[in-house]
């Protein structure tokens, strides 16, 4: 955790009040974003996203599995987040457990929809191979390599990039005579199907410091926050999830205001991220 003197805290708060933060950014400006794809060769899709000094690696691994009996027409997706001790000494051992769980739950809420998989950002029915028998299990892992605030936004962005980098092998099912037998599947090594990631939302966290709120807070700025609202917004400007952190209460009108700001900011962020993804894909080829 960052220790700041009273003078520095005062300086940070003053900067946010005056609209020029310690690194010269305006209140609603993100740090420099850099995107790399295909960083883990063994995974089906992977990405490294840097947002200032925050660095995230996300990977997607697909495995063949059996669908849930209650939802035979849907595949399964799970999201795990791990915070590396290289990011902060306090993450050593079990120190990061609480934060990791908090982040994975928030991401699951935003990306996976309800228990039935309704409203999920990833089309779960596209993961099905044989209804009720075989489906793809997607394991999405996020690793916080270096932490300088705004982990949730960076994780969501990294997962979005990793999914767009993911290729699911094409599967040929040999139709067996009896329907109750296990179908034989033949996983192709050459043909891959790309994911449609256009509906995957991004998360924009608005951190309230003093009277104002900012996006993409550094860990120093986060130490001064009273509360933070994370809004996940998809390409169509629809809000997919909402979480609030921090003890201080917020007036409902402020929250509405924050949501409309988050919606506006997220559209720019999605466009920026998309251009970064296509640039990274072009560089990888």
Interacting residues toward another protein by CB under 8 A? 3-8, 10-11, 13-15, 17-18, 20-26, 29, 31-35, 50, 276, 279
Looking at the Cβ atoms of 24 and 93, the one nearer to another protein is 24
Looking at the Cβ atoms of 10 and 170, the one nearer to another protein is 10
Which is it for the CA torsion 218, 223, 225, 227, positive or negative? positive
Nearest Cα to Cα of residue 208 among 86, 28, 70: 28
Nearest Cα to Cα of residue 140 among 73, 82, 224, 93: 82
Which is it for the CA torsion 248, 254, 256, 261, positive or negative? negative
| Smallest separation (angstroms) from another protein to the CB of 10 | 7
| Smallest separation (angstroms) from another protein to the CB of 217 | 15
Four-CA torsion 199, 275, 82, 148, nearest 10 degrees: -130
Looking at the Cβ atoms of 22 and 198, the one nearer to another protein is 22
| Smallest separation (angstroms) from another protein to the CB of 67 | 40
Looking at the Cβ atoms of 25 and 76, the one nearer to another protein is 25
Looking at the Cβ atoms of 48 and 76, the one nearer to another protein is 48
| Smallest separation (angstroms) from another protein to the CB of 35 | 8
Q: Which residues of 42-76 are buried (b: 16+ CB within 10 A; e: fewer)?
A: ebbbbbbbbbbebbbbbbbbbeeeebbeebeebbb
Residue 29 backbone dihedrals phi, psi, to 5 degrees: -120, 135
| Smallest separation (angstroms) from another protein to the CB of 7 | 3
Looking at the Cβ atoms of 137 and 281, the one nearer to another protein is 281
| Smallest separation (angstroms) from another protein to the CB of 126 | 31
């Amino acid at each position: 955790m960052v220790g700041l003197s009273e003078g520095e805290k005062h300086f940070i708060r003053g900067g946010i009040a005056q609209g020029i933060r310690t690194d010269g950014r305006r209140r609603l400006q993100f740090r420099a974003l850099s995107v790399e794809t295909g960083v883990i060769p063994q995974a089906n899709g992977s990405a490294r996203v840097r947002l200032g000094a925050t660095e995230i690696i996300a990977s997607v691994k697909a495995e063949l599995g059996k669908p849930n009996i209650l939802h035979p027409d849907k595949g399964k997706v799970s999201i795990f987040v791990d915070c590396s001790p290289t990011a902060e000494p306090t993450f050593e051992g079990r120190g990061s457990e609480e934060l990791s769980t908090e982040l994975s739950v928030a991401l699951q809420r935003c990306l996976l929809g309800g228990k039935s998989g309704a409203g999920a950002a990833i089309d779960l029915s596209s993961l099905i191979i044989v209804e009720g028998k075989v489906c793809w299990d997607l394991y999405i892992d996020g690793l916080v390599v270096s932490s300088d605030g705004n982990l949730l936004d960076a994780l969501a962005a990294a997962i979005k990039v990793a999914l767009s980098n993911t290729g699911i092998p094409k599967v040929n099912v040999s139709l067996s005579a009896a329907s109750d037998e296990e179908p034989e599947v033949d996983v192709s090594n050459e043909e891959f199907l790309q994911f449609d990631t256009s509906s995957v939302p991004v998360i924009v966290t608005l951190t309230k410091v003093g009277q104002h709120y900012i996006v993409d807070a550094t860990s120093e700025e986060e130490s001064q926050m009273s509360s933070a609202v994370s809004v996940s917004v998809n390409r169509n400007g629809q809000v997919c999830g909402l979480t609030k952190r921090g003890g201080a209460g917020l007036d409902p009108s402020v929250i509405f205001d924050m949501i409309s700001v988050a919606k506006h900011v997220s559209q720019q962020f999605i466009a920026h991220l998309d251009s970064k993804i296509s640039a990274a894909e072009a560089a990888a080829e």
